[in-house]
Amino acid sequence: EPEVTQTPSHQVTQMGQEVILRCVPISNHLYFYWYRQILGQKVEFLVSFYNNEISEKSEIFDDQFSVERPDGSNFTLKIRSTKLEDSAMYFCASSEIQNLNYGYTFGSGTRLTVV
Amino acid sequence: AQTVTQSQPEMSVQEAETVTLSCTYDTSESDYYLFWYKQPPSRQMILVIRQEAYKQQNATENRFSVNFQKAAKSFSLKISDSQLGDAAMYFCAYREEYGNKLVFGAGTILRVKS
């Protein structure tokens, strides 16, 4: 079964450093998403991406965050200057056709620890 | 804004028994989608079952079924013949018909006793 692949599985970074989280969505999917889950809390939407642009973003997704699809396969989330409160599990997801809504396929997540 | 409420922080079930996890939501929309996701200790999010609001028939997937009560805005998950591998955090989620994002509940931890 096709998978969404995220790398790395765990990233430790110093506060103030830039970090890039990488995702390879399922090849025929057109919509891409990032979600965040702070330990012990609910999963929160960050951003959705379609046709090489952001289609929706939450209030969490401020100027410190950016997304990019640099080539035909990767989808990245960049945090420019990490803060302690950015420590969380970050999930990438993709979906095939938004309105038919077969549901998202999530990756296994990247655990980001900011020290 | 839509909200999703899971009122049971934690539930326990004996192996082979049946358990029901509750979920309610608030929306003014008439067409939308509802989901249950499973998050085992590995932290991966796995889609368990989905329901389209315009369908009256409750969705089923093997041992998993839902009780969708649109008027009451309730969407409970029933797990029959519970297995040890069902132990996980379960999230209820809502999505507008033409929306981009999933709105998640706070989750219910399910423990399965042997």
Instruction: Dump pLDDT digits (tens) for B9-38.
Output: 999 999 999 999 999 999 999 999 999 999
Beta bridge partners of B79: B19, B64
Question: Taking 60 as the threshold, does the pLDDT of residue A101 lie above it?
Answer: no
Question: Taking 60 as the threshold, does the pLDDT of residue A99 lie above it?
Answer: no
| Facing A56 at nearest CB: one of B37, B100, B103 | B100
Q: What pLDDT is attached to residue A61? A: 96
Q: What pLDDT is attached to residue A88? A: 97
CB-CB neighbors (< 8 A) of B103 in chain A: 45
Computed over every residue of chain A, the mean pLDDT equals 91
pLDDT band of A102, cuts 50, 70, 90: low
Apex B48 CA angle, B42 and B53, nearest 5 = 140
| CB interface of A with B, residues 74-113, below 8 Å | 89, 91, 93, 98-99, 101-109, 111
The answer, for B55 touching chain A at a CB cutoff of 8 Å, is: no
More confident residue, A3 or A87: A87
The answer, for B9 touching chain A at a CB cutoff of 8 Å, is: no
pLDDT tens, position by position, A7-37: 999 999 999 999 999 999 998 888 999 999 9
pLDDT band of B41, cuts 50, 70, 90: confident
Residue to mutate among A30, A34, A42, A108, with most B CBs inside 10 A, is A42
Q: Do A45 and B97 touch (CB under 8 A)?
A: no
Question: Taking 80 as the threshold, does the pLDDT of residue A1 lie above it?
Answer: no
As a whole number of angstroms, the distance between CA A2 and CA A8 comes to 19
Closest-CA residue of chain A to B39: A108
Q: Do A108 and B100 touch (CB under 8 A)?
A: no
Question: Computed from CA positions of residues B32, A101, B45, A12, in that sequence, does the dihedral angle turn out positive or negative?
Answer: negative
pLDDT tens, position by position, A47-72: 999 989 999 999 999 999 999 998 87
Q: What pLDDT is attached to residue A24? A: 96
End-to-end CA distance of chain A: 36
As a whole number of angstroms, the distance between CA A109 and CA A6 comes to 6
Percent of chain A with pLDDT strictly greater than 70: 95
Say which residue the tokens 């012990």 belong to: A40
Q: What pLDDT is attached to residue A98? A: 57
